[in-house]
Amino acid sequence: MPDYSFKPEILIIDDDSEICETLELLVNGLGYYVRYFTNPAQGLEYFERELNPIVFLDVNMPQMSGLELLPKIKGIDSKTQVLMITGERDIQTVVTSLYHRATDFILKPFEIKSIENSIARSIEYYGFLKEKESQEEALTRDLRLASRIQSKTMNLPKLSHQLLGEIIPLSFVSGDFYQVIGLEEDQTLILMGDIEGHGVTSGLISILMTTIHKEISRSGQIHPGNILTRLNQELCHEIGTHSMTAISLLVDHKNQLIRYARGGFPFPILFKKDSDQFEVLQENSGQILGILDSITFSEKEISANAGDTLLIYSDGLLGSTSHPLVQSLLQIAPGEDRTMRMKNEINTFTDFLKTYSKAQDDIGYILLEI
């Protein structure tokens, strides 16, 4: 039983003043403070201010029945334990009260032992709910903090080529992540991944992956296949609990080349600058990372044209390249702001998913102008 430093005040609402006084005397005798009201509206007003943990509520009252008042009390504070007072053994009253989450029934005439046991059970359960609420609030605070930390690790750099992107977690912390690093000689290094699961653990692993990725980018020996191999070994040897799909790309803007390696990640799409054509980077499917530590990842290189736009996305955004969103992006007319208009089209789609609760997974995407 929770250790209360003081006895909680118990509220009684019953239109019969004699019942209130009798119950007050009994409850006082058990060591609890009591406040009673014979007017249901006044009792409800007092409860809204005090949020009493236990309420004795009469079922039959002329101005407002206890069955009407019960959902109002529960709507204000669902933790409050409501003990219904009745002299009848009507099954419909019991069913209605239970439907609105009444805790117990106190039958008239009162038995002191029955009242004592009901109060004890109610205090214990109220304490449990209070502790659960505190833990959930602490967890929510931690998740919000983790979400802010994760978002800071995925800030996009300023490049001479238009770069746009977004990660939209299904709930606070995302298993989807990306990291974009601008290199010398007009090159851009991109890592995008999707960690198995959701939540803080996936978020922490994503931070580890981007930390390793950044270290590799400083080595001067940058090969997308080697990057995925290194990340796979880290997942297999050091983590051992989570798998990941990922893609690594090295975009050479000067020479208009894209070199990439895939590990089970969706196929990127290259939208051509001056036409309604696109190219799917579908070679090198690769295996999922974090399963086998001995696998390697082959690389593929393709040519692109200045002004083409590369879309890299997680499966939370597109299930396949035949998705209607791809057709909508193709219909966007060429122009200097084409990449931004493509982002706006994607945002319209993701807003639809969020508004109508259609999103089933984290969403991540990057748009990079070649």
Confidence (pLDDT) at 56: 97
Tell me the domains of the chain and their CATH numbers: 9-141 (3.40.50.2300), 153-369 (3.60.40.10)
E strand or H helix at 188, and its extent?
A: strand 187-195
Describe the strand order of the beta sheet including 300-303 as a list of residue ranges. Answer: 176-183, 187-195, 244-252, 257-263, 300-303
Q: In the prediction, which pLDDT does 89 show?
A: 65
pLDDT tens-place string over residues 99-122:
677 888 888 888 899 999 999 999
Per-residue pLDDT tens for 206-229? 989 999 999 999 987 899 999 999
What is the number of alpha carbons within 13 Å of residue 181 lying toward its C-beta? 21
How big is the chain, counted in residues?
370
pTM over 0.75: no
For the residues of 139-162, what is the DSSP string, one character each? HHHHHHHHHHHHHHTTPPPP-SS-
Q: For the residues 244-251, what does the mean pLDDT come to?
A: 96
DSSP string, 56-99: EEES--SSS-HHHHHHHHHHH-TT-EEEEEES---HHHHHHHHH
pLDDT of 90 reads 61
Instruction: State yes or no: pLDDT of 6 exceeds 70.
Output: no
CA 122 to chain centre: 32
